[in-house]
Amino acid sequence: MILKSFGLMMVLASLSVVNGLAQTAKEDIKGAGHDIKEAGKATGSAAKKTGKATKKTVKKGVNKTAEKTAEGANKIEEKTR
């Protein structure tokens, strides 16, 4: 009788340990999912900032080129008069 009750206690104890491990694994997977989501957000934000900086740099370059082209056109016009 003592062996049966001891065996039953061992089975119940092992089930609670397995259930605790499964819960921890589930939480770990959830945590990893949140980490991946945050990393994706950070990557998207960095790409957005890089895109904006590139756009700004290109715009400056285009404006300077347009100014120099206009200056060149003015000089040519003055020489041909």
Could you state, in chain order, the average pLDDT of each consecutive group of 10 residues for the chain (81 residues)? 59 55 74 87 88 92 91 88 74
Tell me the pTM.
0.47
Residue 42 CA: distances (Å) to CA of 35, 37, 53: 11, 9, 17
pLDDT value of position 79: 85
pLDDT value of position 10: 64
Tokens linked to 51: 């895109």
Radius of gyration of the chain (CA): 35
